[in-house]
Structures are given as C-alpha cells and as structure tokens.
Chain A
Amino acid sequence: MSSQQAVIEDISNTWGNQIEVLEDEFFAGVKVPLQILPELFRKIRDEHGFNYLANLTAVDHQDRFELVYHIYSIPDNRKLMVKADVDHDAPSAPSAVSIWPTADWQEREVFDLMGIRFEGHPNLKRILLPDEFEGHPLRKDFQMKG
C-alpha cells in the first residue's frame, strides 16, 4: 500500500539510520532504539492517525528482551509493527500509557510475567499473579516447580 510505505519512509527520514526497516512478509514494521519510542509513538499517532494499539508484548531472547508493539490506524486501515530491544540485566523501557491508555494493563502484564519495568507508568503492579509471587515466569530462566 503506498500510504503504508509513506509512513515508514517518514519514520526513516526523521530518525535516519537508527531505524531498521524489518523484512516481514506479514506485517510492515520497524526496529527502533528504545529511547525514541515515546517520540515515535507520538508522531505516528498525531501525524499518521495510528490511534489503536492492539498488542504490546515482549519476548525473552536470553541475551536481550524484545518489546513488540502492533499498532493500527482505524480510520485509514493501516498497520505498523514496532520492535525495540531492552537490556537483559536491568530491563527498563518508557511507558506508552500517556499516548495510548490501552497500554496500561498490557504493560503491567509484561512487568508481571517478564519483569520489564516501564518508566512513567501510573500503577506498575503485578496483575495476573499474586503480589507476593517471586520471579517473572515467562523468562526463559524461570524454573517451573511442577
């Protein structure tokens, strides 16, 4: 879609070679450094109409975490995937709650199960597990005591 290309081009032009355009056959996307996420989100929401954050999740690649965002524009029917690497030893990322309020519980779930802290989140507490649970189960080094 030509307008989909225009979005990715705009992002590449703004941040230059910090952006890696992903070769994914199902979902057009970009890989970005962590610190530009709030700016990027604000840009695509305000200038390109991406008003719906569908999915926010994280993957543990053992040497790093990878945050994955799937964002849609409902009025123009476009989609964009944004990925960002997070440091494995002190995992921390900027929160997207101020841009899309739907990130509230989704970030809490990532914190609960993966242990990534989100700076700027209004209420970063565990959501699915009891508060006194120790550990972050979806990490690859979590041992399940069956």
Chain B
Amino acid sequence: MAVDLNKENNDVEVLQKNNILVTTLEKIWDWGRSWSFWPLNYGCNCCPIEMLAASAARFDIARYGYEVFRASPRQADLIIVAGPVTLKMKPILERVWAQMPEPKWVLAMGNCATSGGPFKDGYSILPGCDTVVPVDVYVPGCPPRPEALFHGLLELKKKVASGQYTHRR
C-alpha cells in the first residue's frame, strides 16, 4: 500500500494504522530531538551577531539545550539561516543543506532570510532563503532580538515534538 508521506495532516494516523511500534518510537525520538537541536555555525551579516549574543552568557541558549553549535554540516541538524542569501552564497547554502543528514530543520532568522529584507530590490539578493531550502520557522526582525530567536526556537521545538515538520522522509 502506497503511503504519501508528504501529506501533512494525516500521515501520523496513516502510520499509526500500519505500525504502532515505529510511530511510538518516532514520537519519543521527536521529543528527544526537540530538546537538543545542534545548530550549524552558519551566518553572514548582522543577524549572526545577535545569534552570538544569544549564545553568550546573558541570554544563554544553553538553558534550552541548543548550545552545541557544530562547525561541520554533517554533525548538525538545525541550520539557522541568519542573514541574506546572495547569488554567490546560494550554491554554498545548497551544498551545506545537502550535506546535513536527516532529519533536519531550517529556521530563517531575520528579515533578509525571510523575504530579502531591506535589500529586496537589489540585484544580488534572493527574496528569502525559502527559495533554496524548506523553512520551518520564520523569525522576523532586523535583527531579531535574542529573545525573539528563542521564541522561534521554542516554536520549532513544539513543531518537532508534535511530529509536524516541513522536511520529513
């Protein structure tokens, strides 16, 4: 029987009909994943400075469990696209996204990553990183405060824990 895993609303019920052990384990894995994303060191521009401030002592991303920033995409599962995606950066982002193993998520941080931001009418900016990678959470702001980034991360956590995310095998 063919199961369309991309159908967002009822894939959980379909799987439940088929194999209750796997789906229960999936729920436990999702719960675990949501508590400890491993973000990738990725960013160009002003938004990563707020990401840096978020991971420093005052705002402390570690209290949510997300302080393990990995340098290599092969060890990370969350890419926080902080900053604009320029024409030159597009193949880099595509390659880095392809190197990340499943399951993986994208958080678009800042106005430039969401929609092109203030530079939208320029000739070298893509209108948002969702033209390159599938985005799960958008955090607007220019730049968003560290608290806004945490709000975005907690929304992503809710999304992952409930098993609904954009990119799923």
Contacts and interface: CB of A to CB of B under 8 A. Distances in A.
A115 B44 CA distance: 27
A42 B121 CA distance: 42
Size category, B interface? under 10
Contact of A142 (B87, B120, B123): B123
Chief secondary structure at chain B's binding surface: loop
Interface in A39-79: none
A146 B120 contact: yes
Nearest to A143: B123
Nearest to A137: B123
A86 B88 CA distance: 29
A130 B120 contact: no
B18 interface: no
B10 interface: no
Chief secondary structure at chain A's binding surface: loop
A25 B91 CA distance: 47
A129 interface: yes
A146 B87 contact: no
B122 A129 contact: no
B43 to A, nearest CB: 19
Contact of A133 (B87, B121, B122): B87
Contacts of A137: 123-124
B88 A130 contact: yes
A144 B87 contact: no
B122 A144 contact: yes
A142 B123 CA distance: 10
Nearest to A145: B123
Interface in A106-146: 128-130, 133, 137, 142, 144-146
Contacts of B87: 129-130, 133
Interface of B: 87-88, 120-124
The 6 A-B residue pairs with the shortest CB-CB distance in the complex, in nearest-first order = A146-B121, A130-B88, A137-B123, A144-B123, A130-B87, A144-B121
16 contacts: A128-B124, A129-B87, A129-B88, A129-B124, A130-B87, A130-B88, A133-B87, A137-B123, A137-B124, A142-B123, A144-B121, A144-B122, A144-B123, A145-B123, A146-B120, A146-B121
Interface of A: 128-130, 133, 137, 142, 144-146
Given A128-B124, A130-B88, A137-B123, 13 more contacts: A129-B87, A129-B88, A129-B124, A130-B87, A133-B87, A137-B124, A142-B123, A144-B121, A144-B122, A144-B123, A145-B123, A146-B120, A146-B121
